[in-house]
């Protein structure tokens, strides 16, 4: 597929998508703010800041650009892979320079602090054109995508024609893409599962056992489902790749940043120290409070998300959170 694609974000997920799309035959440009990373990708075909010596592409196969407006010029597809906290500011910078035909694919996971908007809503709020915005989500560790290992994801859009185009862009060899019209369910699943994965890591770090992790994931999925259906998403989406699939991967896989942060918290380390040492973003940390606020605005009971937020904010330790959850009144499942 010979088309021009701009990937916004030179972190792990942006780089992985750029590598996959370049193999697909696309003309790929990566935009980012880390000039040393951009130089490494362009000159060496590596992103050593995030992947060590794992080859990304042949030197020069992926173009890089530090100027956002130059990066998006002429792009048929724009892949938004920046951290959720900066999606609005990046969108503001490019809103007056977008080609009306360009399709934007949001791959950032999270809820905007304060507004509680999903990332597609943030993009639409700034640039308009919701019908040209698609969302990609699903169980997909970046390093495994770079290696070309089998991966399946979901792309959702309100307009089937657009989701079909976005799916055709990504669907190649070992990367399989399903389409959906449930943009709400797909996007919320990708955001909330990070919070549950953070908690799963805490249990693992504290040596709470497999029983505890299975219980957490199952009941966490129930809370995720309540929020999604209350927001108009479909229950079938909850059982799919973007919810259950991504929850399983992120809560158990050692490559998960959210799980890694949880493990360190479970071992008694301070969150500030953990985040200071991390080169990457663990979206579950920032998203926990927003998920709780969203649930409360919908009058939905989410005891697990509530306790995760208490631990992240330093109001409860892990044992207090577990005691609070297990002392709740018995209920019918």
Active-site positions read 193
Q: Which residues contact 51 (CB under 8 A, 6 or more apart)?
A: 12, 15, 142, 143, 146
Q: Return d(Cα 46, Cα 39) in angstroms, integer.
A: 9
- Fill in the DSSP letter of residue 97: G
Q: Cα separation of 133 and 232, whole Å?
A: 18
Q: CA torsion 183→188→191→196, rounded to 10°?
A: -140
- In terms of C-beta distances under 8 Å and separation of at least 24 residues, what long-range contacts does 34-41 make, across chains too? 34/10, 35/66, 37/10, 38/10, 38/64, 38/65, 38/66, 39/64, 41/10, 41/15
DSSP 279-300: SS--HHHHHHHHHHHHHHHTT-
Apex 130 CA angle, 120 and 100, nearest 5: 120
Cβ neighbour number for residue 290 with a 10 Å cutoff: 22
On whether the CB atoms of residues 28 and 21 are closer than 8 A, the answer is yes
Tokens 């999903």 correspond to 118
CA of 98: how far to CAs of 9, 102, 316, 328, in Å? 17, 7, 46, 52
């Amino acid at each position: 597929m010979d088309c021009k694609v701009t990937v916004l974000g030179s972190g792990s997920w942006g780089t992985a998508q750029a590598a996959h799309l370049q193999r697909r035959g696309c003309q790929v440009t990566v935009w980012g703010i880390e000039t040393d990373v951009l130089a490494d990708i362009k000159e060496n075909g590596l992103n050593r800041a995030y992947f060590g010596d794992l080859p990304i592409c042949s030197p020069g196969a992926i173009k890089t650009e530090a100027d956002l407006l130059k990066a998006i010029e002429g792009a048929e597809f724009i892949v938004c892979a920046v951290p959720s906290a900066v999606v609005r500011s990046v969108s503001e910078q490019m809103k007056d320079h977008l080609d009306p035909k360009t399709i934007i694919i949001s791959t950032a996971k999270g809820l905007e602090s304060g507004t509680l908007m999903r990332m597609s809503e943030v993009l639409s709020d700034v640039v308009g054109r919701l019908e040209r915005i698609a969302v990609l989500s699903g169980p997909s560790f970046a390093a495994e995508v770079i290696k070309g290992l089998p991966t399946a994801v979901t792309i959702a859009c309100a307009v089937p024609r657009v989701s079909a185009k976005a799916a055709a862009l990504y669907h190649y060899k070992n990367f399989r893409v399903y389409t959906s019209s449930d943009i709400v369910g797909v996007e919320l699943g990708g955001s909330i599962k990070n919070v549950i994965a953070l908690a799963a890591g805490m249990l693992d770090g504290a040596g709470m056992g497999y029983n505890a992790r299975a219980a957490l994931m199952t009941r966490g999925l129930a809370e995720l489902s309540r929020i999604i259906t209350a927001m108009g998403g479909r229950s079938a989406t909850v059982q799919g790749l973007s919810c259950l699939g991504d929850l399983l991967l992120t809560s158990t896989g050692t490559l998960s940043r959210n799980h890694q942060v949880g493990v360190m918290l479970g071992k008694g380390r301070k969150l500030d120290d953990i985040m200071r040492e991390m080169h990457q973003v663990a979206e579950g940390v920032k998203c926990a409070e927003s998920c709780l606020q969203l649930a409360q605005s919908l009058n939905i009971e989410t005891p697990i998300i509530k306790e995760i937020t208490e631990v992240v904010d330093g109001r409860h330790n892990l044992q207090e959170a577990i005691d609070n959850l297990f002392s709740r009144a018995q209920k019918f499942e």
